[in-house]
Amino acid sequence: MNLLTAVLPRCWFFALTPVLLALALCGCGGPEKRQPSGVRVTPGATRAPRPQPPPAYSAPRVVTPPSVFQTQPPPPPQYTPPPPVVPRTPPSPAPVRPAARPQWIPLQTWAAQLGFSAPVRVGPMDFQVRSGAGAFQFTVGKRAATWNGHRFHLGFAPAATNGVPFIHSLDADKNLAPLLQVNRPVARGRGVIVLDPGHGGPDNGTRSAQGNEKDYTLDWARRLKPLLEARGWKVVLTRTADRGVELPERVLIAEQYQADIFLSLHLNAAATPGAAGLETFCLTPAGMASTLTRNYADPANIVLPGNSQDFENMRLAMRVHRSLLQTAGMPDRGVQRARFMAVLKTQQRPAILIEAGYLSDRNEARLIHTAEYRQKLALAVAKALE
Ligand SMILES: [Zn+2]
Protein backbone atom coordinates (compact mmCIF):
# COMPACT_ATOMS: atom_id res chain seq x y z
CA MET A 1 0.00 0.00 0.00
CA ASN A 2 2.77 2.42 0.93
CA LEU A 3 4.42 1.73 -2.35
CA LEU A 4 1.18 2.43 -4.25
CA THR A 5 0.50 5.68 -2.50
CA ALA A 6 3.98 6.77 -3.26
CA VAL A 7 3.89 5.87 -6.97
CA LEU A 8 0.32 6.81 -8.07
CA PRO A 9 0.64 10.61 -7.78
CA ARG A 10 3.71 10.44 -9.92
CA CYS A 11 1.92 8.30 -12.51
CA TRP A 12 -0.96 10.76 -12.69
CA PHE A 13 1.46 13.56 -13.12
CA PHE A 14 3.26 11.90 -16.00
CA ALA A 15 -0.04 10.83 -17.61
CA LEU A 16 -1.48 14.37 -17.52
CA THR A 17 1.64 16.15 -18.67
CA PRO A 18 1.00 15.84 -22.48
CA VAL A 19 -2.56 17.07 -21.99
CA LEU A 20 -1.50 20.13 -20.05
CA LEU A 21 1.20 20.83 -22.54
CA ALA A 22 -1.25 20.61 -25.44
CA LEU A 23 -3.67 23.01 -23.74
CA ALA A 24 -0.91 25.49 -23.25
CA LEU A 25 0.12 25.33 -26.88
CA CYS A 26 -3.51 25.84 -28.03
CA GLY A 27 -3.77 29.25 -26.49
CA CYS A 28 -5.48 28.33 -23.34
CA GLY A 29 -8.54 26.70 -24.77
CA GLY A 30 -10.14 29.82 -26.38
CA PRO A 31 -12.61 29.47 -29.27
CA GLU A 32 -10.79 28.55 -32.41
CA LYS A 33 -12.04 28.97 -35.96
CA ARG A 34 -10.48 27.28 -38.90
CA GLN A 35 -11.00 28.87 -42.25
CA PRO A 36 -11.62 26.69 -45.20
CA SER A 37 -8.08 27.24 -46.26
CA GLY A 38 -6.90 25.84 -43.01
CA VAL A 39 -5.57 29.15 -41.65
CA ARG A 40 -6.14 29.48 -38.01
CA VAL A 41 -7.76 32.64 -36.68
CA THR A 42 -7.57 33.15 -32.97
CA PRO A 43 -9.62 36.12 -31.83
CA GLY A 44 -8.27 38.01 -28.92
CA ALA A 45 -4.94 36.34 -29.06
CA THR A 46 -2.35 38.31 -27.25
CA ARG A 47 0.55 36.22 -28.10
CA ALA A 48 2.25 35.91 -31.44
CA PRO A 49 0.51 33.33 -33.59
CA ARG A 50 2.05 30.01 -33.93
CA PRO A 51 3.71 29.17 -37.26
CA GLN A 52 0.90 28.20 -39.58
CA PRO A 53 0.85 25.26 -41.93
CA PRO A 54 2.17 26.09 -45.35
CA PRO A 55 -0.57 26.97 -47.88
CA ALA A 56 0.71 24.31 -50.17
CA TYR A 57 -0.24 21.77 -47.63
CA SER A 58 -3.77 22.93 -46.85
CA ALA A 59 -4.96 24.15 -50.25
CA PRO A 60 -5.40 20.71 -51.82
CA ARG A 61 -7.83 19.83 -49.05
CA VAL A 62 -10.24 22.47 -50.24
CA VAL A 63 -10.06 21.95 -53.99
CA THR A 64 -9.69 18.20 -53.97
CA PRO A 65 -13.01 16.55 -54.80
CA PRO A 66 -14.44 13.98 -52.45
CA SER A 67 -12.49 10.84 -52.11
CA VAL A 68 -15.15 8.99 -54.13
CA PHE A 69 -13.90 10.88 -57.14
CA GLN A 70 -10.52 9.25 -56.79
CA THR A 71 -12.08 5.88 -57.51
CA GLN A 72 -13.72 7.05 -60.73
CA PRO A 73 -12.04 6.87 -64.12
CA PRO A 74 -9.83 9.81 -64.98
CA PRO A 75 -11.62 12.78 -66.47
CA PRO A 76 -11.78 12.92 -70.26
CA PRO A 77 -8.93 14.70 -71.94
CA GLN A 78 -9.43 18.37 -72.56
CA TYR A 79 -9.09 17.94 -76.33
CA THR A 80 -12.32 15.95 -76.57
CA PRO A 81 -13.94 17.07 -79.83
CA PRO A 82 -16.80 19.48 -79.41
CA PRO A 83 -20.32 18.25 -80.04
CA PRO A 84 -20.96 17.89 -83.75
CA VAL A 85 -23.67 20.49 -83.70
CA VAL A 86 -21.16 23.22 -82.98
CA PRO A 87 -19.45 23.32 -86.38
CA ARG A 88 -22.78 23.17 -88.19
CA THR A 89 -24.20 26.08 -86.27
CA PRO A 90 -23.57 29.34 -88.07
CA PRO A 91 -21.34 31.45 -85.89
CA SER A 92 -23.52 34.47 -86.49
CA PRO A 93 -26.67 35.32 -88.40
CA ALA A 94 -24.84 34.73 -91.66
CA PRO A 95 -26.78 35.08 -94.89
CA VAL A 96 -28.49 31.83 -95.81
CA ARG A 97 -28.55 32.47 -99.52
CA PRO A 98 -25.27 32.71 -101.38
CA ALA A 99 -26.20 36.15 -102.56
CA ALA A 100 -22.68 37.48 -102.48
CA ARG A 101 -22.95 38.72 -106.04
CA PRO A 102 -25.43 41.34 -107.05
CA GLN A 103 -28.10 40.10 -109.41
CA TRP A 104 -27.30 42.63 -112.08
CA ILE A 105 -23.75 43.34 -113.13
CA PRO A 106 -22.64 46.22 -115.33
CA LEU A 107 -21.58 44.59 -118.59
CA GLN A 108 -18.39 46.59 -118.40
CA THR A 109 -17.54 45.13 -114.99
CA TRP A 110 -18.13 41.56 -116.16
CA ALA A 111 -16.14 42.21 -119.34
CA ALA A 112 -13.18 43.66 -117.48
CA GLN A 113 -13.10 40.71 -115.06
CA LEU A 114 -12.82 38.25 -117.95
CA GLY A 115 -10.40 40.15 -120.12
CA PHE A 116 -12.96 41.52 -122.57
CA SER A 117 -12.96 44.99 -124.04
CA ALA A 118 -15.29 47.63 -122.72
CA PRO A 119 -18.77 47.35 -124.26
CA VAL A 120 -19.06 48.97 -127.64
CA ARG A 121 -22.44 50.11 -128.92
CA VAL A 122 -23.00 48.47 -132.32
CA GLY A 123 -26.68 49.29 -132.74
CA PRO A 124 -29.41 51.35 -131.10
CA MET A 125 -29.73 48.79 -128.29
CA ASP A 126 -26.87 46.45 -129.15
CA PHE A 127 -23.59 46.12 -127.25
CA GLN A 128 -20.56 44.06 -128.08
CA VAL A 129 -17.62 42.94 -125.95
CA ARG A 130 -14.54 41.32 -127.46
CA SER A 131 -11.55 39.32 -126.32
CA GLY A 132 -9.03 36.98 -127.90
CA ALA A 133 -11.57 34.18 -127.43
CA GLY A 134 -14.30 35.89 -129.40
CA ALA A 135 -17.18 38.30 -129.15
CA PHE A 136 -20.47 38.43 -127.31
CA GLN A 137 -23.25 40.63 -128.59
CA PHE A 138 -26.19 41.58 -126.40
CA THR A 139 -29.35 43.53 -127.10
CA VAL A 140 -30.99 45.47 -124.31
CA GLY A 141 -34.50 44.11 -123.75
CA LYS A 142 -33.94 40.86 -125.66
CA ARG A 143 -32.92 37.43 -124.45
CA ALA A 144 -31.39 36.41 -127.76
CA ALA A 145 -27.63 37.02 -127.86
CA THR A 146 -24.71 35.72 -129.88
CA TRP A 147 -21.31 34.22 -129.15
CA ASN A 148 -19.02 34.49 -132.16
CA GLY A 149 -22.10 34.97 -134.29
CA HIS A 150 -23.92 31.87 -132.97
CA ARG A 151 -27.20 32.46 -131.29
CA PHE A 152 -28.14 31.50 -127.75
CA HIS A 153 -30.72 32.70 -125.24
CA LEU A 154 -30.11 34.44 -121.97
CA GLY A 155 -32.26 33.80 -118.95
CA PHE A 156 -32.80 37.55 -118.52
CA ALA A 157 -32.87 40.24 -121.16
CA PRO A 158 -30.05 42.71 -120.52
CA ALA A 159 -31.18 45.98 -118.98
CA ALA A 160 -29.80 49.50 -119.33
CA THR A 161 -29.67 52.41 -116.93
CA ASN A 162 -28.66 55.78 -118.38
CA GLY A 163 -27.26 53.99 -121.39
CA VAL A 164 -25.13 51.61 -119.29
CA PRO A 165 -25.92 47.94 -120.07
CA PHE A 166 -26.33 45.37 -117.30
CA ILE A 167 -26.41 41.58 -117.50
CA HIS A 168 -27.80 39.15 -114.93
CA SER A 169 -25.33 37.23 -112.75
CA LEU A 170 -27.20 33.96 -113.44
CA ASP A 171 -26.55 34.45 -117.14
CA ALA A 172 -22.91 35.14 -116.42
CA ASP A 173 -22.67 31.81 -114.59
CA LYS A 174 -24.99 29.58 -116.60
CA ASN A 175 -24.61 30.89 -120.13
CA LEU A 176 -21.55 33.04 -120.62
CA ALA A 177 -19.06 31.04 -118.54
CA PRO A 178 -19.73 27.73 -120.36
CA LEU A 179 -19.58 29.45 -123.73
CA LEU A 180 -16.12 30.77 -122.93
CA GLN A 181 -15.01 27.13 -122.82
CA VAL A 182 -16.87 25.90 -125.87
CA ASN A 183 -13.64 25.11 -127.71
CA ARG A 184 -12.55 22.63 -125.05
CA PRO A 185 -13.40 19.07 -126.17
CA VAL A 186 -16.27 17.30 -124.45
CA ALA A 187 -15.15 15.17 -121.52
CA ARG A 188 -15.18 11.54 -122.62
CA GLY A 189 -15.40 9.73 -119.30
CA ARG A 190 -15.95 6.08 -120.14
CA GLY A 191 -16.53 7.08 -123.73
CA VAL A 192 -20.18 6.00 -123.99
CA ILE A 193 -22.75 7.98 -125.96
CA VAL A 194 -26.44 7.20 -126.10
CA LEU A 195 -28.14 8.33 -129.31
CA ASP A 196 -31.87 8.72 -129.01
CA PRO A 197 -33.73 8.75 -132.34
CA GLY A 198 -36.93 10.61 -131.51
CA HIS A 199 -40.36 8.93 -131.63
CA GLY A 200 -40.91 5.48 -133.24
CA GLY A 201 -43.57 2.83 -133.58
CA PRO A 202 -47.04 4.33 -133.39
CA ASP A 203 -45.53 7.75 -132.67
CA ASN A 204 -44.57 9.22 -136.03
CA GLY A 205 -43.44 12.57 -134.66
CA THR A 206 -43.82 15.42 -137.11
CA ARG A 207 -44.21 14.74 -140.80
CA SER A 208 -43.82 16.27 -144.20
CA ALA A 209 -45.25 15.32 -147.55
CA GLN A 210 -42.23 13.07 -148.07
CA GLY A 211 -41.85 11.31 -144.74
CA ASN A 212 -42.06 10.97 -140.97
CA GLU A 213 -39.79 12.36 -138.31
CA LYS A 214 -39.37 8.94 -136.68
CA ASP A 215 -37.80 7.49 -139.86
CA TYR A 216 -35.49 10.44 -140.45
CA THR A 217 -34.22 10.47 -136.88
CA LEU A 218 -33.50 6.73 -136.94
CA ASP A 219 -31.60 7.11 -140.21
CA TRP A 220 -29.67 10.05 -138.76
CA ALA A 221 -28.69 7.98 -135.70
CA ARG A 222 -27.63 5.03 -137.85
CA ARG A 223 -25.40 7.31 -139.90
CA LEU A 224 -23.97 8.98 -136.82
CA LYS A 225 -23.11 5.76 -134.98
CA PRO A 226 -20.14 4.65 -137.16
CA LEU A 227 -18.84 8.21 -137.35
CA LEU A 228 -18.69 8.39 -133.57
CA GLU A 229 -17.22 4.90 -133.27
CA ALA A 230 -14.47 5.99 -135.67
CA ARG A 231 -13.74 8.75 -133.17
CA GLY A 232 -13.40 6.29 -130.31
CA TRP A 233 -16.86 6.41 -128.77
CA LYS A 234 -18.99 3.44 -127.77
CA VAL A 235 -22.44 4.15 -129.14
CA VAL A 236 -25.79 2.87 -127.90
CA LEU A 237 -29.11 3.62 -129.62
CA THR A 238 -32.31 3.83 -127.62
CA ARG A 239 -34.01 2.16 -130.56
CA THR A 240 -32.58 0.50 -133.64
CA ALA A 241 -35.88 -0.14 -135.40
CA ASP A 242 -39.28 1.45 -135.87
CA ARG A 243 -40.65 0.77 -132.41
CA GLY A 244 -42.06 2.90 -129.66
CA VAL A 245 -39.88 3.59 -126.62
CA GLU A 246 -41.30 5.45 -123.65
CA LEU A 247 -39.44 8.59 -122.68
CA PRO A 248 -38.40 7.38 -119.20
CA GLU A 249 -37.06 4.19 -120.78
CA ARG A 250 -34.77 6.25 -123.00
CA VAL A 251 -33.23 7.84 -119.92
CA LEU A 252 -32.99 4.42 -118.24
CA ILE A 253 -30.97 3.14 -121.18
CA ALA A 254 -28.48 5.94 -120.58
CA GLU A 255 -28.37 4.94 -116.92
CA GLN A 256 -27.96 1.27 -117.76
CA TYR A 257 -24.97 1.94 -120.00
CA GLN A 258 -23.61 4.65 -117.72
CA ALA A 259 -23.52 6.96 -120.69
CA ASP A 260 -21.30 10.02 -120.63
CA ILE A 261 -23.34 11.91 -123.22
CA PHE A 262 -27.00 11.75 -124.28
CA LEU A 263 -28.13 13.12 -127.63
CA SER A 264 -31.79 13.13 -128.58
CA LEU A 265 -32.36 13.57 -132.32
CA HIS A 266 -35.52 15.29 -133.57
CA LEU A 267 -36.98 17.33 -136.40
CA ASN A 268 -39.31 20.22 -135.91
CA ALA A 269 -42.62 21.47 -137.22
CA ALA A 270 -44.64 24.64 -136.76
CA ALA A 271 -48.19 25.59 -137.53
CA THR A 272 -47.11 29.09 -138.47
CA PRO A 273 -45.46 29.45 -141.88
CA GLY A 274 -41.91 30.70 -142.14
CA ALA A 275 -40.47 28.80 -139.21
CA ALA A 276 -37.23 27.18 -140.29
CA GLY A 277 -33.79 26.40 -139.01
CA LEU A 278 -31.90 24.68 -136.27
CA GLU A 279 -32.65 24.68 -132.56
CA THR A 280 -30.59 22.88 -129.94
CA PHE A 281 -32.16 22.43 -126.52
CA CYS A 282 -30.72 21.92 -123.11
CA LEU A 283 -32.34 21.96 -119.69
CA THR A 284 -33.23 25.36 -118.26
CA PRO A 285 -31.10 26.24 -115.22
CA ALA A 286 -32.98 26.88 -111.99
CA GLY A 287 -33.88 30.50 -111.49
CA MET A 288 -34.59 31.41 -115.11
CA ALA A 289 -37.45 30.97 -117.52
CA SER A 290 -37.39 28.54 -120.43
CA THR A 291 -37.53 29.70 -124.02
CA LEU A 292 -39.95 26.89 -124.87
CA THR A 293 -42.71 25.60 -122.58
CA ARG A 294 -45.35 24.15 -124.95
CA ASN A 295 -47.96 25.06 -122.35
CA TYR A 296 -46.24 22.99 -119.65
CA ALA A 297 -45.66 24.56 -116.27
CA ASP A 298 -42.24 26.18 -116.10
CA PRO A 299 -41.46 26.66 -112.40
CA ALA A 300 -38.26 28.66 -112.40
CA ASN A 301 -37.29 27.77 -108.84
CA ILE A 302 -37.35 24.02 -109.27
CA VAL A 303 -33.99 22.23 -109.32
CA LEU A 304 -34.10 19.12 -111.48
CA PRO A 305 -31.55 16.27 -111.49
CA GLY A 306 -30.34 17.39 -114.90
CA ASN A 307 -29.45 20.79 -113.47
CA SER A 308 -26.34 19.20 -112.01
CA GLN A 309 -25.06 19.30 -115.60
CA ASP A 310 -25.91 22.94 -116.35
CA PHE A 311 -22.38 23.95 -117.28
CA GLU A 312 -21.62 20.97 -119.52
CA ASN A 313 -25.12 21.00 -120.98
CA MET A 314 -24.56 24.47 -122.34
CA ARG A 315 -21.08 23.70 -123.56
CA LEU A 316 -22.24 20.55 -125.34
CA ALA A 317 -25.29 22.30 -126.80
CA MET A 318 -23.24 25.12 -128.31
CA ARG A 319 -20.53 22.78 -129.62
CA VAL A 320 -23.11 20.67 -131.47
CA HIS A 321 -25.20 23.66 -132.50
CA ARG A 322 -22.20 25.48 -133.93
CA SER A 323 -21.03 22.41 -135.83
CA LEU A 324 -24.48 21.86 -137.34
CA LEU A 325 -24.65 25.49 -138.43
CA GLN A 326 -21.21 25.26 -140.01
CA THR A 327 -21.73 21.89 -141.68
CA ALA A 328 -25.38 21.92 -142.69
CA GLY A 329 -25.72 25.65 -143.21
CA MET A 330 -29.22 25.97 -141.81
CA PRO A 331 -30.78 29.11 -140.28
CA ASP A 332 -29.72 29.69 -136.68
CA ARG A 333 -32.60 29.65 -134.20
CA GLY A 334 -30.19 29.38 -131.32
CA VAL A 335 -29.44 27.24 -128.31
CA GLN A 336 -32.74 27.15 -126.48
CA ARG A 337 -33.88 26.27 -122.99
CA ALA A 338 -36.68 23.90 -121.99
CA ARG A 339 -37.67 22.42 -118.67
CA PHE A 340 -40.45 20.04 -119.69
CA MET A 341 -38.47 17.64 -121.89
CA ALA A 342 -38.47 14.26 -120.14
CA VAL A 343 -35.28 13.07 -121.83
CA LEU A 344 -33.37 16.08 -120.48
CA LYS A 345 -34.64 16.82 -117.02
CA THR A 346 -33.65 13.64 -115.17
CA GLN A 347 -30.30 13.06 -116.80
CA GLN A 348 -27.14 12.54 -114.77
CA ARG A 349 -24.91 13.41 -117.73
CA PRO A 350 -24.71 16.21 -120.28
CA ALA A 351 -27.79 15.85 -122.44
CA ILE A 352 -29.18 17.85 -125.34
CA LEU A 353 -32.05 17.58 -127.80
CA ILE A 354 -31.46 18.67 -131.39
CA GLU A 355 -34.28 19.90 -133.63
CA ALA A 356 -32.45 19.78 -136.94
CA GLY A 357 -34.86 21.62 -139.19
CA TYR A 358 -38.57 22.04 -139.84
CA LEU A 359 -40.51 19.39 -141.71
CA SER A 360 -43.27 21.98 -141.94
CA ASP A 361 -40.97 24.14 -144.08
CA ARG A 362 -41.07 22.99 -147.66
CA ASN A 363 -37.42 23.69 -148.41
CA GLU A 364 -36.10 22.10 -145.25
CA ALA A 365 -38.41 19.10 -145.65
CA ARG A 366 -36.97 18.55 -149.10
CA LEU A 367 -33.42 18.79 -147.78
CA ILE A 368 -34.06 16.48 -144.85
CA HIS A 369 -35.51 13.90 -147.21
CA THR A 370 -32.13 13.58 -148.96
CA ALA A 371 -29.57 11.08 -147.68
CA GLU A 372 -26.80 13.61 -148.35
CA TYR A 373 -28.31 16.11 -145.98
CA ARG A 374 -28.85 13.55 -143.24
CA GLN A 375 -25.23 12.49 -143.67
CA LYS A 376 -24.25 16.12 -143.16
CA LEU A 377 -26.29 16.20 -139.97
CA ALA A 378 -24.49 13.07 -138.76
CA LEU A 379 -21.07 14.40 -139.68
CA ALA A 380 -21.74 17.70 -137.94
CA VAL A 381 -22.61 16.01 -134.65
CA ALA A 382 -19.61 13.69 -134.89
CA LYS A 383 -17.28 16.63 -135.46
CA ALA A 384 -18.59 18.37 -132.36
CA LEU A 385 -17.61 15.33 -130.31
CA GLU A 386 -14.06 14.97 -131.58
ZN1 LIG B 1 -39.59 15.09 -132.25
Q: What is the pLDDT of residues 91-125, one digit of tens each?
A: 344 444 544 567 999 999 999 999 999 999 999 99
Residue 83's pLDDT is what?
45
pLDDT in tens, 21-75: 333 333 333 333 333 333 333 333 334 445 454 444 444 444 333 333 344 444 4
What is the dotted CATH code of the domain comprising 104-180? Answer: 3.30.457.10
CA of 278 to the centre of ligand 1 (A): 13
Distance CA 359, CA 381 (A): 20
CA of 356 to the centre of ligand 1 (A): 10
What is the dotted CATH code of the domain comprising 192-384? Answer: 3.40.630.40
Taking 60 as the threshold, does the pLDDT of residue 150 lie above it? yes
> What does the domain layout of the chain look like in residue ranges?
104-180, 192-384
CA of 265 to the centre of ligand 1 (A): 7
CA of 155 to the centre of ligand 1 (A): 24
The pocket of ion ligand 1, defined by CB under 5 A, consists of: 198, 205, 266
Q: Where are the alpha helices (DSSP H) in the chain?
A: 2-25, 55-63, 67-71, 85-88, 107-113, 169-171, 177-180, 213-229, 247-256, 310-328, 342-345, 362-368, 371-384
CA of 341 to the centre of ligand 1 (A): 11
Contact 193, 350 (CB under 8 A): no
**pTM, entire model:** 0.74
Contact 278, 367 (CB under 8 A): no
